[in-house]
Amino acid sequence: MSGADQGRVVEFAIGGMTCAACSTRLEKVLNRQAGMQANVNLAAERARVRLSGGADEAAVIAAVAKAGFKAEVVDKQTREREKAAKAKAYRSEIKRFWIAVLLTLPLVGQMFFMFGEHGHHNELPRWLQLLLATPVQFWIGWRFYDGAWKALRGGGANMDVLVALGTSMAWGFSTVVTLFELPQHVYFEGGAAVITLVLLGKLLEARAKARTSEAIESLVRLQPKTARVERDGQWVEMSVDGLMPGDIFLVRPGESVPVDGEVVDGESSVNEAMLTGESMPIGKRAGDQVFAATANGQGSLRCKATGVGEHTLLAGIIRLVGEAQGSKAPVQRLADRISGIFVPTVCLIALATFVGWWAYSGEFAEALVNAVAVLVIACPCALGLATPTAIMVGTGQGARAGILVKNAEALERAEKITVLALDKTGTLTCGRPQVTDSEARGLPKAEALRLAAALEHHSEHPLARAIVAANGEGEIAAVSGFRAMAGMGVEGEVDGRRLRLGSPEWLGLQDDAVVRQWQQAGKTVIGLQEGATTLAVFAIADALRPTSRAAVARLRERGIHVVMLTGDNALTAAAIASEAGIEEFRAGILPGDKAQAVAELKAGGALVGMVGDGINDAPALAAADVSFAIGAGSDAAIEAADLTLIRSDLLGVSDAIALSGATLGKIRQNLFFAFIYNVLGIPLAALGWLNPVVAGAAMAMSSVSVVSNSLLLKRWRPRA
């Protein structure tokens, strides 16, 4: 299916959601619209909508407005506008909260003087209580009425309905008692205290939720706003947004790299910790890649822009983290289903409580207070925040450690992996063949390498590059009469000597003792001959990464069975597997057949992960239950896998699985707290064992406790 058929995904900032019931209802509304497939995230206040057919952004905004909310397409400026608007709204809510406190304190304070034989003489005049409670109920508490009306108008119900209904019942009953001077107790302090406490809970929740998105904020702040660009031989300072691929820019000592690029000249060391989590600076010289927002060291670098705007690695990371934070883990589905029917169920329980208590005690006031307590104690907010807040913090911590999570579902599955398939080249190994051994016969070793490098100088074959690299910066001699023999080697004349360089079979060295010894160690051997005389033999191998053996050991500690997949012959595969501590391997597998190997591993019922380079292993990565791309440096690598490890280090897979376990642990804790809170709180309120004020305080703190528990994930760190 083409990308056009699948539609395009647009992200919207959503305003006006107050609880899980809101996000659940809005998601249902959008998914009922033609050409829309939506995912709404309460914690991030975002909706990701896949548009197809004739649906467009305007249709989404209209549907959201009809449901009682506000929507705005997310662009580069949205985050800044949102931040400013939220800061302004937060300051306004703080003022309103303290006004509510000043008005509510006398109402609550009188309760401490009403105990004892003559307690009722210490009660504030009821007309004064009415004057104090009414602004709290209808001015401070207007947000609940507004939210409730929009929810009901949209065909749903949310937390605002519960708060508005409960406090209005308490205020209305007390007002009737006051106006008609009835011999009943009034509950002005109950309604006012509930609104004040819920407002306090919302403020604490907003503050905590803001901290869950710190990861993206910190990434956005990293990229410099301006760059020093070469124009007509002069260095001009201009906005980063104006750079184009091919522009030459200068990075001076201590500055941050403005965009992705390639070093043209200069030498320096660059701190790439923000991308990889690795604190050691990386040396850079001509031909090396540099990435936006990384910090330059002591030298100056003149670079050519290769990735600008949305095509930098940093932009890809920000986009990926945002998508992951806005996605839903499968474990969230249960909470969504419950949230959708929660508020109507609570209203029925409150009605049953009212009728039951009135019939049982004959006291209208007592029945009303208990019904209000049921409405106030029940809040679906904690359920709605349990999963997304943990996902937001977990994916943010992962990004800081160089672990990019594409979606929450992959993060949830990662900890359940039982079999992990590893590509060899570039994953277990460095991905760059190197000359590991050499033996010169009848001439100095350096001279043998010089002659071999001359023959291989113009070849792009990995083995040829290894020979040239081993020669270092030495002078390359001229070659005449050059000829390549497919599958065997090359020949040519260097310094008047007719030479051949190639496989032992071509040169008749297959029975040579040194050649056989190196081949048995899993290395590729090539020889250099002049006529029938062997001048040298070289062993070339793709060396194991220094951390690969430790990484495999960690994975096995977690009970994960590790399998190596490689296109190498069995001898080489066995040598690498043994060195890495891997017991099972499959050799001679072509890149296209790796997907079949993954499918065979899955056939046994195992949950299979696949680690590859994210490009030529794409079919196998797609076939796996969870896929990891190791050593990202391009958009292709980021897009290829469920989880991308920026650092070329297999230890990152173990860290990613550990992060998955930590995040899922927090989600389970949050869901337990949210469920147990309502399972215990609603029956206690229905039985008359909870005062509405206590219920309001408990409801406010439930959401705060869930978000605060998620924030504990900030303590997670990759294993040293």
Assign 519 a pLDDT band (cuts: 50, 70, 90): confident
SS (H, E, C) 30-74: HHCCCCEEEEEECCCCEEEEEECCCCCHHHHHHHHHHCCCEEEEC
Rounded distance, CA 331 to CA 502, Å? Answer: 57
How do strand 248-251 and strand 226-231 relate by DSSP bridges?
antiparallel
382 near 524, Cβ under 8 Å? no
Which one, of 712, 717, 562, lies nearest residue 655 by Cα? 717
Instruction: Please report, rounded to a whole number, the percentage of residues in the chain having pLDDT higher than 70.
Output: 86
The encoded tokens of residue 84 equal: 């400013």
In Å, how far are 78, 90, 116, 205, 410 from 86, measured between CA atoms?
Answer: 12, 6, 47, 13, 31
HSE on the CB side for 212, CA within 13 Å? Answer: 32
**Of all helices (H) and strands (E), which one includes residue 533?**
strand 533-544
- Identify residue 19 by its one-letter amino acid code: C
147 near 364, Cβ under 8 Å? no
SS (H, E, C) 366-388: HHHHHHHHHHHHCCCHHHHHHHH
Which one, of 554, 230, 269, 574, lies nearest residue 417 by Cα? 554
33 near 59, Cβ under 8 Å? yes
In Å, how far are 407, 651, 720 from 648, measured between CA atoms?
Answer: 21, 9, 16
Kindly tell me the burial class for residue 260, based on how many C-beta atoms sit within 10 Å of its own C-beta (0-12, 13-18, 19 or more): buried
pLDDT score recorded for residue 704: 77
* Residue 486 predicted with pLDDT over 80: no
CA angle at residue 147 from 96 to 156, to 5 degrees?
Answer: 160
Q: Any alpha helices (H) in 32-187, and if so which ranges?
A: 57-66, 78-109, 126-135, 142-153, 159-179
Cβ within 8 Å of residue 415, ≥6 positions away: 657, 660, 661, 664
Mean pLDDT of the 582-590 span:
87
Within 10 angstroms of residue 524's Cβ, the number of other Cβ atoms is 21
Strand-pairing partners, residue 542, are 433
- DSSP code of residue 588: S
Mean pLDDT of the 348-361 span:
93
pLDDT score recorded for residue 172: 87
In Å, how far are 257, 392, 400, 523 from 223, measured between CA atoms?
Answer: 8, 21, 15, 44
Assign 170 a pLDDT band (cuts: 50, 70, 90): confident
Mean pLDDT of the 587-596 span:
78
**Catalytic site includes residue 75:** no
Rounded distance, CA 357 to CA 275, Å? Answer: 62
pLDDT in tens, 21-57: 788 889 989 999 999 999 888 877 889 899 988 899 9
pLDDT score recorded for residue 639: 62
pLDDT score recorded for residue 119: 44
- Which of 160, 336, 423, 642 is catalytic? The answer is 423
pLDDT in tens, 308-344: 887 787 777 777 666 666 666 677 666 667 766 777 8
* Residue 132 predicted with pLDDT over 90: yes
pLDDT in tens, 80-109: 777 787 788 888 889 999 999 999 999 877
Rounded distance, CA 238 to CA 199, Å? Answer: 46
DSSP letters, 534-573, are EEEEEEEEEEEPTTHHHHHHHHHHTTPEEEEE-SS-HHHH
34 near 53, Cβ under 8 Å? yes
* Residue 1 predicted with pLDDT over 60: no
Rounded distance, CA 100 to CA 477, Å? Answer: 87
pLDDT score recorded for residue 702: 77
pLDDT score recorded for residue 211: 64
Mean pLDDT of the 167-172 span:
85
HSE on the CB side for 533, CA within 13 Å? Answer: 10
The alpha carbon dihedral of 647, 652, 657, 662 has a sign of negative
Assign 115 a pLDDT band (cuts: 50, 70, 90): very low
Within 10 angstroms of residue 310's Cβ, the number of other Cβ atoms is 11
* Residue 216 predicted with pLDDT over 80: no
Rounded distance, CA 353 to CA 351, Å? Answer: 5
Torsion, Cα 412 416 419 423, to 10 degrees, reads 20
Rounded distance, CA 375 to CA 392, Å? Answer: 30
205 near 42, Cβ under 8 Å? no
- DSSP code of residue 256: B
Assign 487 a pLDDT band (cuts: 50, 70, 90): low
Which one, of 235, 669, 637, 625, lies nearest residue 431 by Cα? 637
pLDDT score recorded for residue 322: 67
pLDDT in tens, 637-680: 556 678 888 877 889 999 999 999 999 999 889 888 888 887 88
